[in-house]
Amino acid sequence: MKNSLGRWLVPVIGGLAFVFLLVPIAYVFVFSFNDAGRTNLTWRGFTWDNWRNPCGAPEVCSALGNSLQIGATATLIAVVLGTAIAIGLVRYRFKFNATANMLIFLPLATPEVVLGASLLAQFLNVGAELGKGTIIIAHTVFCISFVVVTVKARVASLDPKLEEAAADLYASPMQAFWRVTFPLLLPGIVAAGLLSFAISFDDFIITNFNSGNVDTFPKFIYVAATRGIPAQANVIGSAMFIVALLIVIGGQVLAHRRRKMLAAR
Amino acid sequence: MSVQAAADKTPAPDKRRGGSERGSGELKEERRRGRMGYWLILPGFLFLLLFFVLPVFSLLATSLYAKPPGADIGQFVPALEFNNYVRMLGSYWPELLRSFGFALIATAAALAIGYPMAYLIAVRLRHHALLRGILLVLIIAPFFTSFILRTQAWKQILADEGPVVSVLRTFALLPDDGRLTATAFAVVCGLTYNFLPFMALPIYANLERLDIRLIEAGNDLYASGFTTFRTVTLPLSMPGVIAGTLLTFIPAAGDYINAALLGNNRDTTMIGQVVDSRFFRVVDYPGASALSFVLMLAILALVFIYVRRFGTKELL
Amino acid sequence: MTQAPLQTENASAVGEESGADLVLGAITKRFGDFVAVEDLDLTIPAGKFFALLGPSGCGKTTTLRMVAGLEQPTSGTISIGGKDISRSGAHQRPVNTVFQNYALFPHMSVLDNVSFGLRRRKVRDARAQAEAALELVELSHLAARRPAQLSGGQQQRVALARAIVNHPAVLLLDEPLGALDMKLRRQMQVELKKIQTEVGLTFVHVTHDQEEAMTMADTVAVMNAGKVEQMGAPRELYELPRTVFVANFLGKSNLVAGDIVEDRGDAVVVNANGNRLAVLKERSTVQQGKALIGIRPEKLRMMWPQDAPADAANVLHGTVLDTSFTGVSTDYLVEVPGIGTVGVFSQNHGQQLAQPGDGVVLNWDTEHAFGLDGAEDAQYGAPEVDD
């Protein structure tokens, strides 16, 4: 039967793809236990030391702190601005609709190198001092676009009648937004925020152009790569991966339980 | 672009069942007019205007700056020095072409891997909500390990003294002096690896909304899984595929981390590396800006041709 | 569980206005070049079940949305109990709507849906009142469910409870039964009517289904192209339509064109291709010139030629074209030379049935005919053939 080929081909390729995706992470995880010393290139024996003392290489932790702070701030700004744009673009008509959509699309169609270089050119021209602020601005630019496209899909699938029903039931525009629109958009907003944070946290190129001498986690690793990455970086990388996984899977499990509970009633 | 395109194209279950009785004239005003809309988009657009549009013009301006005779390093004056473009293109057209070539191959490879991945989660596991959620998270979670750390890991896995090379040499799949790192192959693999989530996610978002009954109807009518895929599933998921290929190709073409970590200094240099070194090592701001601008224009041109050819206006 | 009896609950701010007339004064609504509603004057008396009936795009939904405050009229005023509400927002009007496809909040339980309006107005015993409303629609046992877990009919009732719990001065229903299947629709028609009588609110019901409008409403306004064609009790509209549109849209009508040739005092006689048809003057909108004589299919008597009355008025000779037997009755299509096809609806009381090709005679009582302006297109408002 012809069908059988496709039947196992998809799971096999899909499964291998996941292996491909996760192999380096497994490597990073394993080498976080390496008794490495200065260069974490070859296996020198098992130790808990790196995990017991993740800030043993102090620059790692301060870089991580910067990354978290920048990611959170950029995500917050992008989510607020982007959600407003998404609602505006879907629900209202503008004379310059095409231009507006283009302005959202362009940052996604611009390679990071160009985005980073153009902001740097701008900051140099106005004489701005490079640092956390400039990194946050740079990250927010591309995060907004990701938020807009993600939330827009959610807004488009939201029946405008629901807001009308709220207004009809004595909800002021503000109440209608916070009690009806916002809760219904929330899954999309959370997804957009998660994506924004992930991309910001992982960004190197744009950061590298606009960071001055502030270190972020990826930048620290890149710079360290030439003289050897401390095993503490592996600890942080693994821990972040696990934390992200636990948070989201925890949420999934809770949602799953609730669905089951509702279905059982 | 990405998720949006996916959402708009696929036929969602008809919510307006039995509700077709509103007149055409009464439907016209689905989208409101009004000042509220402007207030919603204004702050975000001001931000983008200030920190995206303006900088691009800054980049354009900088790309035309000239270096006055006898000036210090990093000192330039506003000018219309079009020679910057000639100079840069004359020296670096091979890197530019190579970047597009690498990005193209990586995009094709990511599509070949990412599509089955998305299909597996969105269609095959449609009724396993929990497993689906977990696999979906696994696509995004690697971002948190940092892609430089992961690329560095690949470098060590594929290193000359690493496990893969020695296995391949043992089975004579690789000549004794053959290597995996510091090759064009390694760079393309790295690009494929790093941008795979950007391919898989939009396709997933699209396939997730695909009505499975369409596939069943296709199987019923054509009786062959592959024919159904080719004639039903793939065309319906095209918006996702287009979004995914764009989100992979664009950053891949501008990337330089993979080339820097997995390539060599001879035949794997990508344009991003040149821009970076012009900016920070040579301190040739006009040259670096000119190259960036060329890269941006070239990508935009390719994107528009591509979208015109295959796409829908929802992409924009 | 404590339950506030819903019918007597009259203390809320909004409830006070129950029992007030809804008056639309010269309402016009334009969307660009398109005129959805044109210079509409309408008074809907308090406590009535009022239906706005018309085809798609006739402006009935737009009218409803203007009353609800979801659309602003281009010009004109809307007032309830003498108070002009034209400029107040949807959330400030003592009006509630049962939306087409219900628009229930998917993220809230049924009870939260129903108490939403009460809580926005900070009513003290919101929960008890919401429970009472659910009791009224017989859904108390589903209060904790989410809307997605309910059937279409149940969702419909939640939407109704969510609206009436607020005791609005006017309750608007936008094609409320459109998404239900035939059987459930019948059942809900009866139930809606019952609930309206119980709570005594003014219901304004928008529908394109003439049977639905006639079953439930005390007064029906037939709308077409942004205007009210005719308004009245269902029976009045049916028995004595005043325009071709109403005659065709509300049930079926045979319309025969001719010229008025004789005045008999209380009636006029029309010559339709040699056939003399009489119509009472008080049942005709025209007294001279061209006229359309209308007669409902069930008012026609069909007989064999030998049984035809000698009296020459209101008699048509024809040939049966087609028959369809439905059990309680038979629908005939009869070809009358010089006039066209005439529909006849004949109740089954055991008589011998005519077959296609049989010659027959049609006859009716003068007081069942109605006269319309002959300048109009006799097909206007009739459903499409394949409908």
Look at residues A166, A183, A179, A150 and name the one whose alpha carbon lies nearest to residue A83: A150
Tens-digit pLDDT profile for residues A105-120:
899 888 888 899 899 8
Give residue B223's pLDDT.
63
**DSSP class per residue in B9-72:** HS----TTTT-TTS-HHHHGGGSB-SHHHHHHHHHHHHHHIIIIIHHHHHHHHHHT-B--TTPP
Residue A171 has pLDDT above 70, yes or no: yes
Look at residues B177, B166, B159 and name the one whose alpha carbon lies nearest to residue B262: B159
Work out how many domains chain A is built from and give that number: 2
Terminal alpha carbon distance of chain A: 42
**DSSP class per residue in B193-261:** HHHHHHHHHHHHHHHHTS-HHHHHHHHHHH--HHHHIIIIIHHHTHHHHHHHHHHHHHHHHH--HHHHH
Cβ contact, residue pair A27, B146, below 8 Å:
no
Q: What is the ipTM of this complex?
A: 0.88
Residues A252 and A146 in one domain: no
Tens-digit pLDDT profile for residues C5-43:
444 343 334 444 445 789 999 999 998 888 899 999 999
What does each C-alpha distance from B290 to B56, B81, B299, C206 come to in angstroms? 11, 10, 14, 64
Domain boundary among C239, C262, C296: C239
Tens-digit pLDDT profile for residues B247-294:
999 999 999 889 988 888 778 889 998 998 888 888 888 999 999 999
Give residue B311's pLDDT.
64
- Cα A171 to chain centroid, rounded: 34
| Contacts with A, B 83-112, CB within 8 Å | none
Bridge partners, C302 (sequence order)? C362
Range of the domain at A85: 59-229
Residues C135 and C184 in one domain: yes
* CB-CB neighbors (< 8 A) of B111 in chain A: none
Give residue A2's pLDDT.
45
Residues A209 and A252 in one domain: no
Tens-digit pLDDT profile for residues C335-359:
999 888 999 998 888 777 888 999 9
Q: C254-263 and C290-295: which strand pairing?
A: antiparallel
Tens-digit pLDDT profile for residues C92-112:
999 999 998 899 999 999 999
Q: Round the average pLDDT of chain C to a whole number and report it.
A: 87
Residue B183 has pLDDT above 60, yes or no: yes
Q: Round the average pLDDT of chain B to a whole number and report it.
A: 81
Q: Is C45 helix (H, G, I), strand (E, B) or coil?
A: coil
Residue B316 lies in a domain: no
* B70 φψ region: left (φ > 0), alpha (ψ -120 to 50), beta (else): left
> B93 CB contacts (<8 Å, ≥6 apart)?
none
Range of the domain at B228: 88-310
- Cα A226 to chain centroid, rounded: 27
**DSSP class per residue in C319-367:** EEEEEEE-SSEEEEEEEETTTEEEEEEEE-SSPPPP-TT-EEEEE--GG
Residues C46 and C94 in one domain: yes
pLDDT confidence band for B213 (50 / 70 / 90) = confident
Tens-digit pLDDT profile for residues B101-143:
999 999 999 999 999 999 999 888 888 878 888 888 888 888 8
Residue C153 lies in a domain: yes
Min CA distance, C189 vs chain A (Å)?
Answer: 22
Q: How many CB pairs under 8 A join B and C?
A: 48
Residue C120 lies in a domain: yes
What does each C-alpha distance from C26 to C45, C78, C143 come to in angstroms? 17, 9, 43
What does each C-alpha distance from A155 to A166, A168, A182, B9, B42 come to in angstroms? 16, 20, 10, 15, 18
What does each C-alpha distance from B273 to B195, B288, C147 come to in angstroms? 18, 10, 56
Min CA distance, C80 vs chain A (Å)?
Answer: 16
Read off the amino acid at residue C109. S
Output the CA angle B123-B124-B128, nearest 5 degrees.
100
Residue B224 has pLDDT above 80, yes or no: no
C26 — phi, psi (to 5°)? 50, 50
Give residue B232's pLDDT.
81
Do A225 and B99 touch, CB atoms closer than 8 A? no
pLDDT confidence band for B198 (50 / 70 / 90) = very high
- Asked which of A217-231, B161-175, C330-344, C373-387 is least confident by mean pLDDT, the reply is C373-387
The CATH number for A214's domain is: 1.10.3720.10
Mean pLDDT confidence for C235-246: 94
Residues C27 and C64 in one domain: yes
> B69 CB contacts (<8 Å, ≥6 apart)?
none
The CATH number for C230's domain is: 3.40.50.300
Cβ contact, residue pair C120, A175, below 8 Å:
yes
What are C113's two structure tokens? 């849906």
Residues A185 and A255 in one domain: no
Q: Record the pTM.
A: 0.81
Residue A41 lies in a domain: no
pLDDT confidence band for B164 (50 / 70 / 90) = confident
Mean pLDDT confidence for B220-240: 79
Higher pLDDT, C384 or C246: C246
According to DSSP, residue C248 is labeled H
> C79 CB contacts (<8 Å, ≥6 apart)?
C22, C23, C25, C85, C86
Give residue B125's pLDDT.
85
Strand order in the sheet with C34-44: C34-44, C22-31, C75-80, C83-84
Tens-digit pLDDT profile for residues C367-376:
999 999 988 8
* CB-CB neighbors (< 8 A) of A165 in chain C: 97, 99, 103-105
Give residue A265's pLDDT.
53
Do C336 and C342 touch, CB atoms closer than 8 A? yes
* CB-CB neighbors (< 8 A) of A176 in chain C: 91
What are C383's two structure tokens? 């459903």
Residue B297 lies in a domain: yes
Min CA distance, C92 vs chain A (Å)?
Answer: 6
Alpha carbons within 13 angstroms on the beta-carbon side of residue C134 total 25
Rounded Cα gap, residues C231 and C223, in angstroms: 9
Element (H, E) at C222: strand C219-224
What are B47's two structure tokens? 């931000």
Residue C198 has pLDDT above 80, yes or no: yes
The CATH number for C359's domain is: 2.40.50.140
Residue A252 lies in a domain: yes
* CB-CB neighbors (< 8 A) of B285 in chain A: 121, 124
Residue C329 has pLDDT above 50, yes or no: yes
Give residue B241's pLDDT.
92
Cβ contact, residue pair B25, C36, below 8 Å:
yes
Range of the domain at C267: 252-377
Residue B93 lies in a domain: yes
What are C34's two structure tokens? 């398109």
Residues A175 and A260 in one domain: no
